[in-house]
Amino acid sequence: MNLNSSNAAFMPSAVCSLIKLHSDDQYFIGSSMDGSIKLFDLRLLHRGHIQSYDGHRNSHSHLQLGVNPSETFLLSGGEDSFVRIWSIKTSELIYEENVSNCSFSTVCWPVYGDYFYGNDQFLMHGENLYDSNWSWGVWLGSREGLFYMRGASSTSAN
Protein backbone atom coordinates (compact mmCIF):
# COMPACT_ATOMS: atom_id res chain seq x y z
CA MET A 1 0.00 0.00 0.00
CA ASN A 2 1.30 3.42 -0.94
CA LEU A 3 0.13 6.44 1.06
CA ASN A 4 -0.30 9.52 -1.09
CA SER A 5 -0.95 12.97 0.37
CA SER A 6 -3.19 13.84 -2.60
CA ASN A 7 -5.57 11.17 -1.26
CA ALA A 8 -5.57 12.54 2.28
CA ALA A 9 -8.06 14.61 4.24
CA PHE A 10 -6.70 16.88 6.92
CA MET A 11 -8.27 17.71 10.27
CA PRO A 12 -7.29 20.61 12.58
CA SER A 13 -5.98 18.23 15.27
CA ALA A 14 -5.67 14.50 16.05
CA VAL A 15 -8.49 12.39 14.58
CA CYS A 16 -10.88 10.79 17.10
CA SER A 17 -13.47 9.08 14.96
CA LEU A 18 -14.12 8.16 11.31
CA ILE A 19 -17.41 6.90 9.91
CA LYS A 20 -18.00 5.79 6.33
CA LEU A 21 -21.55 6.33 5.09
CA HIS A 22 -22.87 3.10 3.60
CA SER A 23 -25.59 4.79 1.54
CA ASP A 24 -22.87 6.44 -0.56
CA ASP A 25 -19.37 5.08 -0.05
CA GLN A 26 -17.86 8.31 -1.40
CA TYR A 27 -18.68 10.10 1.89
CA PHE A 28 -17.17 9.84 5.35
CA ILE A 29 -17.39 11.88 8.55
CA GLY A 30 -14.39 12.63 10.74
CA SER A 31 -13.99 14.25 14.14
CA SER A 32 -10.88 15.60 15.81
CA MET A 33 -9.74 16.43 19.33
CA ASP A 34 -10.41 20.14 18.87
CA GLY A 35 -14.16 19.46 18.55
CA SER A 36 -14.31 19.70 14.75
CA ILE A 37 -16.68 17.37 12.92
CA LYS A 38 -16.43 17.37 9.11
CA LEU A 39 -18.07 15.60 6.17
CA PHE A 40 -15.75 14.66 3.29
CA ASP A 41 -16.34 13.48 -0.26
CA LEU A 42 -13.58 11.14 -1.48
CA ARG A 43 -13.90 12.60 -4.97
CA LEU A 44 -13.18 16.10 -3.63
CA LEU A 45 -10.54 15.48 -0.95
CA HIS A 46 -8.20 18.04 -2.52
CA ARG A 47 -10.79 20.74 -1.66
CA GLY A 48 -11.10 19.71 1.99
CA HIS A 49 -14.34 19.08 3.86
CA ILE A 50 -17.69 19.77 2.22
CA GLN A 51 -19.70 20.32 5.41
CA SER A 52 -19.15 21.05 9.12
CA TYR A 53 -21.21 20.11 12.18
CA ASP A 54 -20.90 22.86 14.79
CA GLY A 55 -21.36 22.63 18.56
CA HIS A 56 -19.37 19.51 19.51
CA ARG A 57 -17.08 20.05 22.52
CA ASN A 58 -13.76 18.24 22.75
CA SER A 59 -10.25 19.29 23.71
CA HIS A 60 -8.34 16.10 24.47
CA SER A 61 -10.59 13.00 24.56
CA HIS A 62 -11.17 10.13 22.17
CA LEU A 63 -14.93 10.60 21.62
CA GLN A 64 -16.65 8.38 19.08
CA LEU A 65 -19.35 9.57 16.67
CA GLY A 66 -22.50 7.61 15.86
CA VAL A 67 -24.71 7.52 12.77
CA ASN A 68 -28.21 6.07 12.86
CA PRO A 69 -29.06 3.13 10.55
CA SER A 70 -30.88 5.29 7.98
CA GLU A 71 -27.87 7.67 7.96
CA THR A 72 -29.99 10.75 8.65
CA PHE A 73 -28.63 11.62 12.12
CA LEU A 74 -25.11 12.13 13.45
CA LEU A 75 -24.63 11.88 17.23
CA SER A 76 -21.81 12.86 19.56
CA GLY A 77 -21.24 13.01 23.27
CA GLY A 78 -19.08 15.99 24.23
CA GLU A 79 -16.66 16.67 27.06
CA ASP A 80 -19.28 19.11 28.35
CA SER A 81 -21.61 16.10 29.02
CA PHE A 82 -24.00 17.19 26.27
CA VAL A 83 -25.38 14.79 23.70
CA ARG A 84 -25.83 16.44 20.32
CA ILE A 85 -27.60 15.22 17.21
CA TRP A 86 -27.29 16.82 13.78
CA SER A 87 -29.00 16.24 10.47
CA ILE A 88 -26.30 14.66 8.29
CA LYS A 89 -27.81 16.20 5.16
CA THR A 90 -28.19 19.81 6.37
CA SER A 91 -25.72 19.88 9.31
CA GLU A 92 -28.48 21.47 11.42
CA LEU A 93 -28.10 20.83 15.16
CA ILE A 94 -31.48 19.28 16.00
CA TYR A 95 -30.89 18.03 19.56
CA GLU A 96 -28.65 19.30 22.34
CA GLU A 97 -29.08 18.32 25.96
CA ASN A 98 -26.99 17.70 29.04
CA VAL A 99 -28.08 14.17 29.90
CA SER A 100 -25.36 13.10 32.34
CA ASN A 101 -22.47 14.25 34.52
CA CYS A 102 -20.00 12.41 32.30
CA SER A 103 -18.87 12.49 28.70
CA PHE A 104 -19.86 9.60 26.43
CA SER A 105 -16.88 8.10 24.65
CA THR A 106 -18.70 5.28 22.85
CA VAL A 107 -21.84 5.32 20.70
CA CYS A 108 -23.77 2.34 19.31
CA TRP A 109 -26.88 2.91 17.23
CA PRO A 110 -28.65 -0.48 16.93
CA VAL A 111 -29.73 -1.52 13.44
CA TYR A 112 -33.40 -2.25 12.76
CA GLY A 113 -33.91 -5.84 11.69
CA ASP A 114 -30.54 -6.77 13.14
CA TYR A 115 -30.01 -9.29 15.93
CA PHE A 116 -30.00 -6.43 18.46
CA TYR A 117 -33.76 -6.08 18.17
CA GLY A 118 -35.90 -8.52 20.08
CA ASN A 119 -32.91 -9.87 21.98
CA ASP A 120 -33.80 -10.15 25.67
CA GLN A 121 -30.42 -8.79 26.77
CA PHE A 122 -31.58 -5.35 25.60
CA LEU A 123 -34.77 -5.29 27.64
CA MET A 124 -34.69 -3.27 30.86
CA HIS A 125 -37.13 -3.67 33.73
CA GLY A 126 -39.44 -5.77 31.53
CA GLU A 127 -39.78 -2.90 29.07
CA ASN A 128 -39.41 -3.36 25.32
CA LEU A 129 -37.03 -0.59 24.28
CA TYR A 130 -37.96 -0.99 20.63
CA ASP A 131 -41.74 -0.87 20.72
CA SER A 132 -43.79 1.28 18.34
CA ASN A 133 -43.93 4.21 20.79
CA TRP A 134 -40.26 4.96 20.11
CA SER A 135 -38.78 5.67 16.72
CA TRP A 136 -35.07 5.78 17.51
CA GLY A 137 -32.69 4.73 20.22
CA VAL A 138 -28.96 4.73 20.84
CA TRP A 139 -26.58 3.16 23.37
CA LEU A 140 -24.06 5.53 24.97
CA GLY A 141 -21.03 4.37 26.93
CA SER A 142 -18.99 6.25 29.51
CA ARG A 143 -16.76 5.39 32.45
CA GLU A 144 -19.95 5.44 34.56
CA GLY A 145 -21.69 2.74 32.52
CA LEU A 146 -23.96 2.07 29.55
CA PHE A 147 -27.02 4.21 28.94
CA TYR A 148 -29.88 3.88 26.47
CA MET A 149 -31.35 7.08 25.04
CA ARG A 150 -34.46 7.11 22.87
CA GLY A 151 -36.64 9.57 21.03
CA ALA A 152 -40.26 9.64 19.99
CA SER A 153 -40.28 11.34 16.62
CA SER A 154 -39.32 9.88 13.25
CA THR A 155 -38.80 13.28 11.61
CA SER A 156 -36.61 14.88 14.23
CA ALA A 157 -34.35 13.67 16.98
CA ASN A 158 -36.21 15.26 19.88
19-28, 77-86, 114-123, 125-134: range with highest mean pLDDT: 19-28
Return the C-alpha torsion angle 78, 84, 85, 90, nearest 10: -90
What is the percent of the chain with per-residue pLDDT over 70, rounded to a whole number? Answer: 73
pTM listed for this prediction? 0.75
The alpha carbon of residue 135 and the mean position of all alpha carbons in its chain are separated, in whole angstroms, by 17
- State how far the Cα of 58 lies from the Cα of 32, in Å rounded to an integer: 8
User: In the structure, what pLDDT confidence band is assigned to residue 38 with cuts at 50, 70 and 90?
Assistant: very high
Q: What percent of the chain has pLDDT over 90?
A: 16
**pLDDT, tens only, 133-158:** 446 788 888 888 888 888 765 444 44
Q: Calculate ∠ Cα 112-62-138, nearest 5°.
A: 20
Q: Which amino acid is at 97?
A: E
All structural domains of the chain, each given as residue ranges with its CATH number in brackets, are 5-151 (2.130.10.10)
Question: Is residue 78 within 8 Å of residue 63, measured between CB atoms?
Answer: yes
Condensed to tens digits (0 to 9), the pLDDT of residues 90-138 reads 999 998 888 888 888 888 887 754 333 333 333 333 344 444 444 678 8
Do residues 72 and 85 touch, judged by C-beta distance below 8 A? no
Decide if 151 contacts 157 (C-beta within 8 A).
yes
CB < 8 Å & 24+ apart, contacts of 14-22: 16/58, 16/61, 16/62, 16/63, 16/64, 16/65, 17/62, 17/63, 17/64, 17/65, 19/65, 19/66, 19/67, 21/67, 21/71, 21/88, 22/71
